[in-house]
């Protein structure tokens, strides 16, 4: 084997330092990431707890009388920071889903898997809640490995029982907050104190989510990112050589060797970056599908560099160009295109959301004859269908627009509706048969009493039909 071939062989690791979460035979190699401290670990912890606190608080924070985010499945309503949507607004979901997907795409082009490492619920809950419990009950990496291999005894039984009880309590909490997004909190509290048989669906949801969370965070863990999540697989097409990702500075680190070895680079081959990795990969092999951008290898390597008195940043946030010593550039054609698409998307979504009204009003012709003759008068009968989409009881005024020769009768010109209540109100329009020359439109304006913005009134129109135009 030539020296060149040898140079490109992957690092051979002792059995205590497995690479990746799969063994050579395809079986799973359980990962025991070591503890690490450093600036990124601290910052991530702050972000994780802030996100968990926000997530747990949102169903409690009232905005205009409802939780800040509340998907009321039972009544098919969705409350979002004071705005209320019903099933007819489902089309707006298109903008929320595509906007989220595109924002993720944009963030990846700029900063790689920043979402996975800093904000994905899988990472946030695992590193923010479950992993600390595991460290508390089973100790650091070496102890955990030893405990796993040890035969069942009193200590193992006790530690495992306490860990799983705490995991279960955490999963129950997370599952109930999750369910709280779909049933109101007073209702959730009432259900929690009542008989599960009285609300089987909610109970089944809470129990299933608890079990899924427990299985995922106690056992499945990084396998979800590696096997199930499609996002990581798209990484290679979403990033380019100018995206900021986590990488190893090969120019500076190679050839590896113990500190003080003549001609050796800065990497002392201590493998700290591997043992702290939650997917057990070697960042020195370059960008990999299994890297979730967690930054732990950065802090681990910085710690080593501090100890041996070398500059930090052998493993760091940088672009592939930066790591290869090539000129770096942030602004590039891909980002210009993505920014332009993002601006277009934001404008279209804003216009779409502005079309979302606080009430709905539609004008329908009453079923039956299109018109009736009443003496010398032609009469058309219409119905106005109203839906109050605000969070409170509101009063609406039905105001026909004056039309030459036409007489309007609105028996129910003032309609009071509870939140998400609906009603119909008849509108009769008459005109002397002799004055009718062809079809003409009639217009009715509906406005909410006390609306601050007069432009929120809705104007509906219909065609007045008579003997000369009824069949058109």
CB of 274 to ligand SF4, least distance (A): 7
Task: Kindly tell me which of 275 and 427 has the beta carbon lying closer to ligand SF4.
Answer: 275
Secondary structure class of 85 (helix, strand, coil): strand
What does the block give as tokens for 207?
A: 């129990």
CB of 117 to ligand SF4, least distance (A): 7
Task: Kindly tell me which of 163 and 284 has the beta carbon lying closer to ligand SF4.
Answer: 284
Q: State the DSSP string of 128-164.
A: IIIHHHHHHHH-SHHHHHHHHHSPS-HHHHHHHHHHH
Of 105, 32, 86, nearest in space to 356 by CA: 86
Handedness of CA 101, 106, 111, 112 (dihedral sign): positive
What does the block give as tokens for 231?
A: 């996002």
CB of 48 to ligand SF4, least distance (A): 15
CB of 307 to ligand SF4, least distance (A): 10
CB atoms within 10 A of CB 164: 15
**Cβ 276 vs Cβ 297: under 8 Å:** yes
Task: Kindly tell me which of 283 and 436 has the beta carbon lying closer to ligand SF4.
Answer: 283
- CA–CA separation, 309 vs 67, rounded Å? 53
Task: Kindly tell me which of 216 and 296 has the beta carbon lying closer to ligand SF4.
Answer: 296
What are the residues whose beta carbons fall under 8 Å from the beta carbon of 247, sequence distance 6 or more? 283, 286, 287, 315, 316, 318, 320, 323
Helical segments of 194-271, H only? 200-215, 222-223, 235-238, 250-253
CB of 246 to ligand SF4, least distance (A): 4
Task: Kindly tell me which of 284 and 447 has the beta carbon lying closer to ligand SF4.
Answer: 284
Task: Kindly tell me which of 39 and 463 has the beta carbon lying closer to ligand SF4.
Answer: 39
Of 163, 177, 204, 62, nearest in space to 121 by CA: 177
Distances 383 to 396, 421, 426 between C-alpha atoms, Å: 15, 16, 4
CB of 44 to ligand SF4, least distance (A): 11
- CA–CA separation, 118 vs 132, rounded Å? 17
CB of 221 to ligand SF4, least distance (A): 12
Task: Kindly tell me which of 314 and 444 has the beta carbon lying closer to ligand SF4.
Answer: 314
Task: Kindly tell me which of 77 and 271 has the beta carbon lying closer to ligand SF4.
Answer: 271
Main-chain dihedrals φ then ψ at residue 129, nearest 5 degrees: -120, -55
CB of 25 to ligand SF4, least distance (A): 23
Task: Kindly tell me which of 177 and 314 has the beta carbon lying closer to ligand SF4.
Answer: 314
| Site of interaction with ligand SF4 (CB under 6 A) | 246, 248, 253, 267-273, 276-279, 281, 283-284, 291-297, 300-301, 304, 314-315
What does the block give as tokens for 303?
A: 């710690």
Strands 359-365 and 69-72: unpaired
- Tell me 445's DSSP state: E
What does the block give as tokens for 119?
A: 């904000």
CB atoms within 10 A of CB 155: 10
CB of 13 to ligand SF4, least distance (A): 11
Handedness of CA 173, 178, 182, 185 (dihedral sign): positive
CB of 62 to ligand SF4, least distance (A): 39
Task: Kindly tell me which of 1 and 12 has the beta carbon lying closer to ligand SF4.
Answer: 12
- CA–CA separation, 269 vs 449, rounded Å? 74
CB of 96 to ligand SF4, least distance (A): 29
Task: Kindly tell me which of 314 and 446 has the beta carbon lying closer to ligand SF4.
Answer: 314
Prior bond to 163 cis, omega within 30?
Answer: no
């Amino acid at each position: 084997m030539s020296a060149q071939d040898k140079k490109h062989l992957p690092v051979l690791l002792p059995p205590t330092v497995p690479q990746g979460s799969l063994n050579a035979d395809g079986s799973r190699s359980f990962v025991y990431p070591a503890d690490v401290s450093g600036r990124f670990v601290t910052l991530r912890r702050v972000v994780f707890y802030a996100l968990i606190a926000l997530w747990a608080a949102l169903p409690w924070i009232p905005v205009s009388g409802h939780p800040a985010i509340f998907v009321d499945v039972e009544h098919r309503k969705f409350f979002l920071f004071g705005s209320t949507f019903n099933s007819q607004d489902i089309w707006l979901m298109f903008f929320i889903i595509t906007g989220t997907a595109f924002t993720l795409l944009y963030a990846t082009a700029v900063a790689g898997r920043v979402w996975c490492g800093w904000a994905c619920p899988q990472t946030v809950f695992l590193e923010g809640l479950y992993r600390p419990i595991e460290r508390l009950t089973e100790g650091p990496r070496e102890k955990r490995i030893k405990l796993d291999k040890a035969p069942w005894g009193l200590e193992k039984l006790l530690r495992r029982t306490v860990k799983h009880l705490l995991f279960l309590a955490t999963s129950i909490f997370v599952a109930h907050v999750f369910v709280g997004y779909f049933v109101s909190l007073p209702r959730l509290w009432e259900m929690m104190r009542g008989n599960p048989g009285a609300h089987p669906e909610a109970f089944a949801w809470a129990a299933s989510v608890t079990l899924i969370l427990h299985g995922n965070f106690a056992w499945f863990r990084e396998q979800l990112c590696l096997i199930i999540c499609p996002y990581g697989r798209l990484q290679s097409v979403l990033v380019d050589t100018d995206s900021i990702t986590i990488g190893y500075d090969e120019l500076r680190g190679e050839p590896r060797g113990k500190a003080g070895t003549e001609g050796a680079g800065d990497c002392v081959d201590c493998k700290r970056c591997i043992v702290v990795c939650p997917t057990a990969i070697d960042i020195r092999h370059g960008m990999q599908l299994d890297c979730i951008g967690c930054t732990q290898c950065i802090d681990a390597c910085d710690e080593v560099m501090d100890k041996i008195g070398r500059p930090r940043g052998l493993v760091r946030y940088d672009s592939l160009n930066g790591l290869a010593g090539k000129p770096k550039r942030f602004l590039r054609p891909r980002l210009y295109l993505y920014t332009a698409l993002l601006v277009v998307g934001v404008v279209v979504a804003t216009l779409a959301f502005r079309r979302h009204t606080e009430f709905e009003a539609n004008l329908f012709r009453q079923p039956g004859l299109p018109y009736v003759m009443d003496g010398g008068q032609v009469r058309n009968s219409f119905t106005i269908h109203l839906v109050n989409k605000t969070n409170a009881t509101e009063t609406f005024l039905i105001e026909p627009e004056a039309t030459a020769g036409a007489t309007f009768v609105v028996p129910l010109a003032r309609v009071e509706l509870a939140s998400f209540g609906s009603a119909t109100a008849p509108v009769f329009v008459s005109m002397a048969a002799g004055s009718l020359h062809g079809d003409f439109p009639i217009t009715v304006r509906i406005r909410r009493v006390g609306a601050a913005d007069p432009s929120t009134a809705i104007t509906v129109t219909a065609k007045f039909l008579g003997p000369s135009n009824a069949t058109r």
